[in-house]
Chain A
Amino acid sequence: MGLPNHPLTDIIPLSETELEEWEEAYSAVEAYFQALRLRNRLLVAELVRRILQRAADRHQAQPDIPPRVLAMEETLSEIAQWTQQVLDEPLENRRMAARGRLALLLAGIPGKWQSVFLTPAPWPAEFEAAMRTSYLAAGPRFAQLTMLPKPLEFNAVGSGAAQWLETLDRKPTLKRMFFALLIALIVLSVWYVFLKK
């Protein structure tokens, strides 16, 4: 891993602003790999260094684009391209990138396959098979049935009550009058039964 023969004297001095920008880029890329649950610090550090190197190369040609944007574009594109190679299917749009990330999860990148992540082919057959069979489905194939409500058949009392209630719902004044009459009847009955001497 890495380039151990790079002498420290090759380091170019950066301004304070540049250091801050690249620190932000570093943090974002490192955070993204950690979000992918890569646990090994050496692996993460190496991947971050490689990505930042590419971003730095692009930055020379595109100095107006902030290093963080360049670094994260490199990260996402690297992951998408690599996933596409493993899946052996085109990632036509961004949605397929989500499909790729899902495959990483389901195939076990956070678990036993972190060492394979972003490495060139050939990959272990078991890993490739796991990646290619990773998908989600909310249900099996449709097996539709029809459910249609059948109206309730009421007897004479029920039908009358239903008609009366619907009339009351349509005519709020009548409804208020009806309930006022009902309450008056109840009060009158209570008086007659219990209080009348």
Chain B
Amino acid sequence: MDPLDSKSHHSVPHFFSKTRAQIRRAVFFGCVLIVNLCASLWLLDIFWLQGIHLGHYSVLLIFIILNGLLTLGSFHAIFGAYDIMRGKKKTVRISELADGKTGPLEKRYTVVMPVYNEDSVKVCARIEAIYRSIEATGCLESFDFFILSDTRDLDLWVQEETSWTNLCRRLGGFGRIYYRRRVKNENRKAGNIGDFVRTWGGEYESMLVLDADSLMDGGDIVKMARIMESYPRLGILQTPPKLIRGVSVFTRLQQFAMRLYGPLFIRGLNFWQLNGGSYWGHNAMIRVKPFSEYCELPALPGKEPFGGTILSHDFVEAALMVTQGWEVWLAWDIEGTYEEAPPTLIDHLKRDRRWCQGNLQHLWLIFAKKLPLTVRMHLFMGIMAYLGSPLWFLFLLQGTFLAWDREHSGLSQLPFENFASRWFHINGAEQSLILSAAVLGLLFLPKIMALALTLFNRDTRKSFGGGFSLIIGATIETFISILLAPCMMAAHSLMVLSIILGRAVGWGNQARETDGTAWVDAMAFHAIPTLIGAVWTYVAFQISPTFVAWMSPILLGLLLNIPVSVLTSRARYGRALQKKKILSTPEELNPPWVLTLADQATAAVDPALDASQESRRGLVAAVVDPYVNGVHVSLLENVDITPAEEQLAERCLVEGPSALTKNELAELLYVAPAMLMMHRAVWLRPAGGMHSIWTHAVESYRRRLNHPATAESA
């Protein structure tokens, strides 16, 4: 097939038949529907027994939605477990298309890593590891690499240039590893990728899209490329990334939970989504031509936060691909795919704020024409991941009101039987308990099943550090996740509220590491949820001690929000757990080769070209250092300097960079003649003729000889 002919893929037979896919979806969603219907009818029956109140209907309505979501989640795990127990041979696995295939790839591929104000040394370390890992497969010739920078921090921009140059010098990567920075970061990450596709995309069959914290094994990347070559209907091939390098307790909890419970959900997801999968924004291979044809995102009606630019672009891009007849698959068995997680609860919630707004924008797409069922389901699940919290909050509030109303009404249970008591001979109180237990069962069933499956498999059990570590880890994870759930509920509810009130979100870079959250910051951030918890506890005590007991997991979670946030953010507690192999994952206990490569990667660091020294960091180095200046200027477009820019450069020399605004500095950094003029000036002018920052930077080179103790790292 001609790689640029995006229509000819329709003649290729389907990997999985449409009829069988529809049967699977009917079975899956049928089960969810039946269980939810039974539970909801039973609750109505119990309400009827208690003497139905108008408020009960509202509670019932929310219960149907919430229980539906819970059942949906649980059935992912149930079907996932079923799929796992059937064995790899009987399961649907798109990657079987690459089985047994070797030899060179037929087409050209690229690895793209969009970055935004990241640590360039770490970004380059990941690129280095992926590069070496692909090199080891013998297929490096088929790949190019792009670091696509949208970085706005000027110092980090210069450091990205030096790190990339060092990386290329060390790996011999010139002409294979490229660095491009956008002048304007329009449309954020989607715009960054779009800009790449428009400029260079025509050269490549597919692109592997990574995040700045992504890492992937070269063998698996080549395997993905082979799948793309084998199946021309495939538009996007998503992999399920594993969380790695968790240091804080919070991150370790997340990575342990995802590693232990994740496979069940992933397999369950694959059971029904099949060729109508979703794209999660990174660690996925995308066929470039159809992406360019169909995935330029339209603006939504109205302004942000609900309208305007689409923030969560990935789901929509997958939706547009599927709508146009391209298939989107989840390669669940690609093992070497990794990412990192935000280190603290606060960082996690800040990221969630962006995702929340993006997912709520998808409400528009629910009303779009021609979307297949799988796409609508993905969009619905994404929306409900955040709308579920305020609904849960309302449900609990209404439950509290009904308990208060019942307590103060002095009414007893009605003297007649409901359907459940007639059929099963159990009274109303027992029915309430059983229904609650069933809901809790649905909630914890995935954890129990995942733990059981892991414990019964010798190899998997050992990979987690043994049965004891697993059980202790799962217990701690369950306990803390119970405490965290109300915090998330409150935080998500407040996010949804702020979005409804019209507060749009900015584009922040993600914190990758931290020493932990300060108590003051936690108090400021979690003040409202804690206050809600205190008031709620008081009200609950006014109702009855039994009600307090029922509500205790929620109330405790809210009241302990601040200490839980602070204590789980601590890296030292995380390290202590790590030493005891608690909350450990297979990747932590037995790091894959590509992780080791990334840990050992040093190509981006070279004292000969360095813009990170204290006395000449970033922008200052770009002016003073002959090599940094040479690299920076070489990457700029050839433009003439204007008199205004000359004046600006002079001001920068005399008054120092701090006297200029960020925009003025950025303007200077873009004008090659200005950068060359400043470089010459700082070396030629006597000390009195310019700001001390330049003098100190120039003098810093001599310290190496004068003061060996403060020498630059060799």
> Are A and B interaction partners?
yes
Q: Which residues of A contact B (CB under 8 A)?
A: 24, 27-28, 30-32, 34-37, 41, 66, 68-69, 72-73, 75-76, 94-95, 97-102, 104-106, 110-111, 135-155, 157-159, 161-163, 165-166, 168-169, 192-194, 196
Q: Assess the B54–A138 pair: CB atoms within 8 A.
A: no
> Nearest residue in A to B610 (C-beta to C-beta)?
A37
The SS class assigned to the B binding surface is helix
Q: Assess the B201–A145 pair: CB atoms within 8 A.
A: yes
Measured CB to CB, the closest approach of chain B to A96, in angstroms, equals 10
Contacts of B369 in A (CB 8 A): 153-155
Contacts of A37 in B (CB 8 A): 607-608, 627
Q: Assess the A68–B699 pair: CB atoms within 8 A.
A: no
> Nearest residue in B to A99 (C-beta to C-beta)?
B634
Contacts of B198 in A (CB 8 A): 144-147
Given contacts A102-B627, A143-B203, A165-B306, 12 further A-B contacts (CB under 8 A): A68-B684, A68-B685, A95-B676, A98-B676, A104-B626, A104-B627, A147-B198, A147-B296, A148-B296, A154-B367, A154-B368, A155-B369
Given contacts A31-B698, A36-B626, A94-B680, contact A149 B368 (CB under 8 A): no
Q: Assess the B629–A98 pair: CB atoms within 8 A.
A: yes
Measured CB to CB, the closest approach of chain A to B713, in angstroms, equals 12
One digit per residue, 1 when the CB lies within 8 angstroms of any chain A CB and 0 when it does not, for chain B 668-699 equals 00001100110010011111000000000011
Q: Is the C-beta of B406 less than 8 angstroms from some C-beta in chain A?
A: no
CA distance A136 to B300 in the complex (A): 40
Q: Assess the A150–B294 pair: CB atoms within 8 A.
A: yes
Q: Is the C-beta of B592 less than 8 angstroms from some C-beta in chain A?
A: no
CA distance A159 to B609 in the complex (A): 56
Contacts of A162 in B (CB 8 A): 301-302, 364
Measured CB to CB, the closest approach of chain B to A104, in angstroms, equals 8
Q: Assess the A101–B672 pair: CB atoms within 8 A.
A: no
Contacts of B624 in A (CB 8 A): 35
Q: Which one, B174-182, B218-226, B473-481, B530-538, is touching chain A?
A: B174-182
Given contacts A41-B705, A193-B58, contact A136 B146 (CB under 8 A): no
Contacts of B300 in A (CB 8 A): 152
Q: Assess the A158–B367 pair: CB atoms within 8 A.
A: yes
From B57, B180, B288, give the contact of A138 (CB < 8 A). Answer: B180
From A106, A136, A146, A157, give the contact of B292 (CB < 8 A). Answer: A146
One digit per residue, 1 when the CB lies within 8 angstroms of any chain A CB and 0 when it does not, for chain B 142-169 equals 0010100000000000000000010001
Given contacts A28-B683, A140-B175, A142-B200, contact A194 B701 (CB under 8 A): no
CA distance A110 to B289 in the complex (A): 44
CA distance A147 to B288 in the complex (A): 11
CA distance A104 to B638 in the complex (A): 21
Contacts of A158 in B (CB 8 A): 364, 366-368
One digit per residue, 1 when the CB lies within 8 angstroms of any chain A CB and 0 when it does not, for chain B 107-122 equals 0000000000000000
Measured CB to CB, the closest approach of chain A to B646, in angstroms, equals 13
Q: Assess the B364–A72 pair: CB atoms within 8 A.
A: no
Q: Which residues of B contact A (CB under 8 A)?
A: 54-55, 57-58, 144, 146, 165, 169, 174-175, 178-181, 194, 197-204, 288-289, 292-303, 306-307, 364-370, 398, 401, 405, 607-609, 624-627, 629-631, 633-635, 638, 672-673, 676-677, 680, 683-687, 698-699, 701-702, 704-705
Q: Assess the B687–A97 pair: CB atoms within 8 A.
A: no
3 closest A-B pairs by beta carbon, nearest first, are A158-B367, A143-B202, A101-B630
From A34, A136, A146, A153, give the contact of B174 (CB < 8 A). Answer: A136
Q: Assess the B684–A73 pair: CB atoms within 8 A.
A: yes
Measured CB to CB, the closest approach of chain A to B572, in angstroms, equals 39
From A41, A140, A152, A153, give the contact of B203 (CB < 8 A). Answer: A140
Q: Assess the B683–A145 pair: CB atoms within 8 A.
A: no
- Residue contacts A-B, CB under 8 angstroms, 17 given: A27-B699, A28-B698, A69-B685, A95-B638, A98-B630, A102-B630, A104-B630, A106-B169, A136-B635, A138-B181, A138-B635, A145-B288, A152-B300, A154-B367, A155-B368, A194-B55, A194-B401
Q: Assess the A98–B296 pair: CB atoms within 8 A.
A: no
CA distance A194 to B631 in the complex (A): 69
> Nearest residue in B to A75 (C-beta to C-beta)?
B683
Measured CB to CB, the closest approach of chain B to A41, in angstroms, equals 7
CA distance A133 to B547 in the complex (A): 77
Contacts of B169 in A (CB 8 A): 105-106
Contacts of B627 in A (CB 8 A): 35-37, 101-102, 104-105, 110
> Nearest residue in A to B292 (C-beta to C-beta)?
A145
Contacts of B370 in A (CB 8 A): 153
Contacts of B629 in A (CB 8 A): 98, 101
Q: Assess the A94–B676 pair: CB atoms within 8 A.
A: yes
> Nearest residue in A to B631 (C-beta to C-beta)?
A102
Q: Assess the B203–A193 pair: CB atoms within 8 A.
A: no
Contacts of B180 in A (CB 8 A): 138-139
Measured CB to CB, the closest approach of chain A to B712, in angstroms, equals 9
CA distance A152 to B299 in the complex (A): 9
> Nearest residue in A to B501 (C-beta to C-beta)?
A179
CA distance A72 to B181 in the complex (A): 33
> Nearest residue in B to A165 (C-beta to C-beta)?
B302
Measured CB to CB, the closest approach of chain B to A193, in angstroms, equals 5
Q: Assess the A137–B178 pair: CB atoms within 8 A.
A: yes
Contacts of B704 in A (CB 8 A): 34
Given contacts A139-B199, A145-B292, A152-B298, contact A165 B307 (CB under 8 A): yes
Measured CB to CB, the closest approach of chain B to A116, in angstroms, equals 16
> Nearest residue in B to A68 (C-beta to C-beta)?
B686
Contacts of A144 in B (CB 8 A): 198-202
Contacts of A139 in B (CB 8 A): 146, 178, 180, 199-200
Q: Assess the B686–A66 pair: CB atoms within 8 A.
A: yes
Contacts of B204 in A (CB 8 A): 143
Contacts of A166 in B (CB 8 A): 301-302
Contacts of A143 in B (CB 8 A): 199-204
Contacts of A69 in B (CB 8 A): 684-686
CA distance A75 to B679 in the complex (A): 13
From A98, A138, A142, give the contact of B672 (CB < 8 A). Answer: A98
Q: Assess the B683–A72 pair: CB atoms within 8 A.
A: yes
From A31, A95, A99, give the contact of B702 (CB < 8 A). Answer: A31
Contacts of A36 in B (CB 8 A): 626-627
CA distance A30 to B638 in the complex (A): 31
CA distance A69 to B683 in the complex (A): 8
Q: Assess the A147–B306 pair: CB atoms within 8 A.
A: no
CA distance A155 to B369 in the complex (A): 6
Measured CB to CB, the closest approach of chain A to B289, in angstroms, equals 7
Q: Assess the A95–B672 pair: CB atoms within 8 A.
A: yes
Contacts of B174 in A (CB 8 A): 106, 135-137
Contacts of B178 in A (CB 8 A): 137-140
Given contacts A95-B638, A145-B288, contact A193 B55 (CB under 8 A): yes
Given contacts A95-B673, A166-B301, contact A136 B683 (CB under 8 A): no
Given contacts A34-B701, A36-B627, A101-B630, contact A149 B200 (CB under 8 A): no
Q: Assess the B298–A149 pair: CB atoms within 8 A.
A: yes
Measured CB to CB, the closest approach of chain B to A22, in angstroms, equals 12
Q: Assess the B203–A95 pair: CB atoms within 8 A.
A: no
Contacts of A135 in B (CB 8 A): 174, 634
CA distance A105 to B170 in the complex (A): 12
Contacts of A155 in B (CB 8 A): 367-369
Contacts of A161 in B (CB 8 A): 301, 364, 367
